[in-house]
Amino acid sequence: MSLDVEILVSEMKSAASQILSKDVATLKGFSERQIKNIAAQAAFVEQGIVSGEITAATKDFFLDNLKDMVRNFIRTLQGLAIITIEKL
């Protein structure tokens, strides 16, 4: 029995499309929520700094937390991309 390359390619494309369409939708929803949360946190920190509620003593704490949010978001996206590639 010989392997039909055309059928194999077609099946691989179909499987990849199904995985990508589902995973890309999941990634998109996740990334949009996270970006909105990061933007809201940045606005909160900015407002706190401007109003004086966030003092010079606590400013670095809030800015570091914001950096951590962004860093963790990027790491999560990287992990999700790797998982999607492994599924393919």
pLDDT tens digits, one per residue of 36-81:
999 999 999 999 999 999 999 999 999 999 999 999 999 998 888 8
pLDDT at 45: 95
Q: Assess if residue 4 is contained within a domain.
A: no
Q: Assess if residue 22 is contained within a domain.
A: no
> Cβ distance 62 to 48 under 8 Å?
yes
Q: How far apart are CA 76 and CA 60, in angstroms?
A: 24
Q: Assess if residue 6 is contained within a domain.
A: no
Q: Domain range holding 71?
A: 29-87
Q: Assess if residue 47 is contained within a domain.
A: yes
Q: How far apart are CA 12 and CA 6, in angstroms?
A: 10
Q: Assess if residue 5 is contained within a domain.
A: no
Q: Assess if residue 55 is contained within a domain.
A: yes
> Cβ distance 54 to 62 under 8 Å?
yes
pLDDT at 10: 83
Angle at CA 16, nearest 5°, toward 32 and 87? 75
For the chain, what is the domain count? 1
Residue 12, pLDDT above cutoff 80: no
Q: What is the pTM of this model?
A: 0.74
